[in-house]
Chain A
Amino acid sequence: MTKEEARILLMDYMYGELEADQAKELEQYISQHADLKQELEELTETRSMLQHLPVQSPQEQLVIMEPETREKTATSNWWERVRTALSPQAGFARTSFAIAGFVFLFVITGALTNMKVSIGDNGFSMTFGEQPPAQVGYTPSQVELIINQVQKENAQLVNQIVLAAQEQQEEQFQQTLATFAQYIDDQRATDLELMNYSLSSLEETTYNRFRQTDQVLGEIIQTVSTND
Chain B
Amino acid sequence: MEDAQLVQDFLGGNHQAFNKLVGRWQDRIHHFAYRYFASSDDAAEITQKTFIKAYQKLDTLDDASKFGSWLYRIANNLCLDELKRVGRKRATSLEALKEAPQTDVSSSADGRLVRNEALVLLHKALLQIPNDQRMVVIMKEYEGLTFREIAEILDESENTVKSRLYYGLRTLKKTFDSWNINKEVFNYD
Task: Please list the residues of chain A having a beta carbon within 8 angstroms of any beta carbon in chain B.
Answer: 7-8, 10-12, 15, 17, 42-43, 45-59, 61-64, 66
Contacts and interface: CB of A to CB of B under 8 A. Distances in A.
Contacts of B176: 46, 49
A59 B182 CA distance: 32
B170 A64 contact: no
12 contacts: A11-B166, A42-B170, A43-B166, A49-B182, A49-B186, A55-B34, A55-B35, A56-B34, A56-B43, A57-B27, A58-B26, A64-B15
A45 B40 CA distance: 28
**In this complex, which of A17, A43, A46 has the most chain B Cβ atoms within 10 angstroms of its Cβ?**
A46
Contacts of A17: 146-147
Given A46-B173, A49-B186, A61-B23, A12 B34 contact: no
A62 B26 contact: yes
Q: Could you tell me the dominant secondary structure of chain A's interface residues?
A: loop
A84 B174 CA distance: 58
A58 B47 contact: yes
Q: Could you tell me the dominant secondary structure of chain B's interface residues?
A: helix
B5 interface: no
Given A49-B183, A50-B141, A57 B162 contact: no
Nearest to A68: B15
A63 B119 CA distance: 32
A67 to B, nearest CB: 9
Interface string B145-189: 011000000000001001101100110110010000111001000
Contacts of B118: 52
Contacts of B43: 56, 58
B137 A50 contact: yes
A186 B137 CA distance: 108
Contacts of A52: 118-119, 122, 186
Interface string B38-56: 0010011001100110010
Contacts of B170: 42-43
Interface string B100-124: 0000000000000000001100110
